[in-house]
Amino acid sequence: MSHKSSIHFDISERKVLLRIVDIAAVLGILYLVGLVFDFDYFKINARHWVWSIVLALYLTVFATIFELYNLQKASKYETVVQNIILTTSLTVLFYLLTPFFTPTLPENRLQIVYFFVAMNIALFIWRYAYIVLISAPRFFKRVLLIGNGEEIVTIIASLQKSDPNYKVVGFIHSGSSNFKRGLFQNIQEFKVENVAKTVQKEFISEVVVATPQSDGMTVALYNQLILLLEQGTPIREYTQVYEDITRRVPVQHVDKDFYRYFPFSRSNQNKLYLFLHRILDLILSVIGLTVGLILSPIIIFGNLLGNRGPIFYTQTRVGQNGQHFKIYKLRSMVIDAEKDGAQFALKRDARVTKFGRFLRKSRFDEIPQLVNVIKGDMSVIGPRPERPIFVKELSEKIPFYEVRHLVKPGVTGWAQVNAKYGVSQEDALEKLQYDLYYIKHRSIFLDISIVIKTLSTIIFFRGQ
C-alpha cells in the first residue's frame, strides 16, 4: 500500500485559512503593484493603515455574501470565478464610495482599473492553488467509523455531503445484528479485533464512534480505543462530529435525556445579548420596512396584475413559549388557497401566483413580518413560525420539536438560510436540526452571519 499523508485541515481551519490568505493575497499584490507601477491610489504604509483594514473588512463581508467561504462551492473553480468577480466588484465599488475612510479618487481613473484587476488576479491565483493543493485528496481527513452497520450508509452520507474533504475510509460493525454488506461497495469493512492496526495501516486521522454503550461497545473494544487515545489518535462521538461538520443537532440520534446534548447558549439568558439582539431587530426592521415602502409601487402594481386581490393576509402562528399570534405577510397564493383545509406549501405549488412566486423568491413577501418584530411577537432571526395544526402534527412525530419555541420565531434564521425547501417530515426534521443548533449556539456573531447569509439568499434569488 502506498503511503498517504495524514495531514488534513478541519472545516474551521480551512475557513480561517481562506479568509486570511484572501486578505493577504489582495494586500500583497496591491503592494507589489504600488512598487512596480505608478500606482498611488492605494498605499500600504504606517500613515494609511486604515485603508487596508477597511478594504479587508469589505472583502470579508462581500466574500461571505457571495459564498466564497462555502467549502462545497470553494472547491469548484467555475463557481469560484463567478463569485470572485461579484465579490471584487462590490468591494471596489463600496471602497470607492467611502472616501472618508479610504483614499480620494485618483486623477488618473485608470488606477481604479489596476485596483480591480489586481484584486481579481490575486484571488484567482490563490483560490486555484487552494483547489489544486488544499482540496486535493492528499489533504482529506481520513476517518474510521465504528457503529451499527444498518446506520453506516446514512451516517457516512450525512458527513461527506457537508464536508467534501471528510473521507470515511472504512467502518467497523459493532452491532450484534446482521446487515446487508452489499450496500458498502465503496467502503471497506475492518475487523473489530484489530482497531489499532487498522488505524496505523490506513493512516487514520480520527476515529468516530457511532454506537451506544449498550449496543456493541464491549470492554475489549473500549480498551482498544483507550489505547489509541493514549497514543494520540483523536476519538470523537458521532453526534459531536455531526454537529461540528453540518452545523446541525442530530436529534434523531439523541436520547430522551436531551439536556446532556443541549447545553443551551447562555446568550438565551444574557441580558446584554438580549438587549443587543433587540436593538438589531429594531434597526433591521426599520431598514426593511423603508425598503418595503420604496418598493411598494412595484408591489401594488404587480399585485393588481398578477394576484388580483388583497395585498396582505394574516395567519395564526405559534410563537415563543407556544403563544399564538397573528403574522402579517404579502399574499403570494390565490385567494381560496386553503379551501380544502390547511396543507404544507409545495416546492412548485400550483396555488402560488406568478407574482407570488416572484415575492417568494425575492423574499419580499416577508417584509410585513417586520411589523411583528417591532410589536415583539417575532425576532428578525429565529426559527420559522409554524401554524398550530402543523406544530401539533410535527410534535407528535419528531422528537424535541417543541424545543424550537424556547426563543422567538424569526423572519429569517439558521434553518431558512441553510435548509432546502421543506415539503415532508424529513425536511421538517432537517430544519429542526438547524433550529436547535441556533438555540444551542446563539450569539451576536451567529446572528450577523445569518443576516449576511440572508443577503446572499436574496441576491441569488433562492427564496422559498
- pLDDT score for 183: 54
Q: Which residues contact 298 (CB under 8 A, 6 or more apart)?
A: none
Residue 1: band (very low, low, confident or very high) from pLDDT cuts 50, 70, 90? very low
The Cα–Cα gap between 235 and 145 comes to: 10
116-148 per-position pLDDT tens digit: 999 999 999 999 999 888 776 667 788 888 887
| Cβ atoms of residues 206 and 8 within 8 Å | no
Q: Look at strands 206-210 and 410-412 and give their pairing.
A: unpaired
Average pLDDT over residues 213-218: 64
Please count the other Cβ atoms lying within 10 Å of the Cβ belonging to residue 15: 16
Task: Using the CB atoms, write b or e for 159-171: b if 16+ within 10 Å.
Answer: bbebbebbbbbbb
* Residue 257 amino acid letter: D
**What is the model's pLDDT at position 2?**
40
Measured CA to CA, the distance from residue 460 to residue 152 in angstroms comes to: 35
Predicted confidence band of residue 3 (pLDDT cuts 50, 70, 90): very low
Percentage of residues in the chain having pLDDT higher than 70:
85
Would you state the pLDDT for residue 214?
54
pLDDT of amino acid 5: 42
More confident site: 25 or 48: 25
For the chain, the average pLDDT equals 83
Average pLDDT over residues 240-245: 84
Is residue 375 within 8 A of residue 228, CB to CB? The reply is no
* 3-state secondary structure labels for all residues of the chain: CCCCCCCCCCHHHHHHHHHHHHHHHHHHHHHHHHHHCCCCCCCCCCCCHHHHHHHHHHHHHHHHHCCCCCHHHHCCHHHHHHHHHHHHHHHHHHHHCCCCCCCCCCCCCHHHHHHHHHHHHHHHHHHHHHHHHHCCHHHCEEEEEEECHHHHHHHHHHHHHHCCCEEEEEEEECCCCCCCHHHCCCCEECCHHHHHHHHHHCCCCEEEEECCCCCCCCHHHHHHHHHHHHCCCCEEEHHHHHHHHHCCCCHHHCCCCHHHCCCCCHHHCCHHHHHHHHHHHHHHHHHHHHHHHHHHHHHHHHHHHHHCCCCEEEEEEECHHHCEEEEEEECCECCCCCCCCCCCCCCCCCCECHHHHHHHHHCHHHCCHHHHHHHCCCEEECCCCCCHHHHHHHHHHCCCHHHHHHCCCEEECHHHHHCCCCCCHHHHHHHHHHHHHHHHHCCHHHHHHHHHHHHHHHHCCCCC
Residues 338 and 316 sit within 8 Å (Cβ to Cβ): no
Q: Please tell me the distance from the alpha carbon of residue 210 to that of residue 324, in angstroms, as a whole number.
A: 39
Cell output for 462: 433562492
- Structure-block grid coordinates of residue 171: 467502518
pLDDT digit string (tens) for 428-448? Answer: 888 999 999 999 889 888 999
How confident is the model over 248-282, as pLDDT tens digits?
A: 888 766 665 555 556 677 777 888 999 999 999 99
At residue 413, what is the residue type? G
Q: Quick check: 6 pLDDT over 60?
A: no
Whole-angstrom Cα distance, residue 134 to residue 152?
A: 27
Q: Distance between CA 422 and CA 344 in Å, rounded?
A: 9
| Gap between the Cα atoms of 41 and 112, Å rounded | 8
Lowest model confidence (mean pLDDT) among 64-68, 284-288, 372-376: 64-68
More confident call, 25 vs 223 = 25
**pLDDT score for 262:** 63
Residue 463 has pLDDT above 70, yes or no: no
In the block, which residue shows the cell 489586481? 118
Residues 6+ apart with CB under 8 A from 435: 383, 384, 404, 413, 414, 415
Question: Stretch 230-256: mean pLDDT, rounded?
Answer: 81
User: Quick one: pLDDT band at residue 247, thresholds 50, 70, 90?
Assistant: confident
Query: Considering the chain, what percentage of its residues have pLDDT values greater than 90?
Result: 29
Residue 317 phi/psi, 5-degree rounding, is -130, 165
Looking at residue 331, what is its pLDDT?
87
pLDDT of 349 reads 66
Domains in the chain, CATH or no CATH each:
11-134 (no CATH), 140-246 (3.40.50.170), 266-459 (no CATH)
Among 319, 295, 457, smallest CA distance to 385 is for 319
| pLDDT score, position 106 | 74
Distances (CA, A) of 130 to 15, 18, 120, 349: 11, 8, 15, 41
Q: Which residue has the higher pLDDT, 300 or 308?
A: 300
Q: Specify the range with the lowest mean pLDDT, choosing from 16-20, 201-205, 208-212.
A: 208-212
| CA–CA gap between residue 67 and residue 59 (Å, rounded) | 12
Please write the tens of the pLDDT for every residue from 393-421.
888 888 888 889 999 999 999 998 888 76
pLDDT digits (tens, 9 = 90+) for 449-462: 899 888 888 877 66
Most confident of 60-74, 132-146, 218-232, 405-419: 405-419
Q: Residue 275's pLDDT is what?
A: 93
Instruction: Out of 131-145, 219-233, 372-386, 440-454, pick the least confident.
Output: 131-145
Lowest mean pLDDT among 123-132, 330-339, 370-379: 330-339
Encode burial over 335-374: b for 16+ CB neighbours within 10 A, e otherwise: eebeeeeeeeeeeebebbbebbbbbbbbbbbbbbbbbbbe
| Torsion sign across C-alpha atoms 409, 413, 415, 420 | positive
Q: Which residues pair with 195 in a beta bridge?
A: none
Burial of 387 (0-12, 13-18, 19+ CB in 10 A): middle
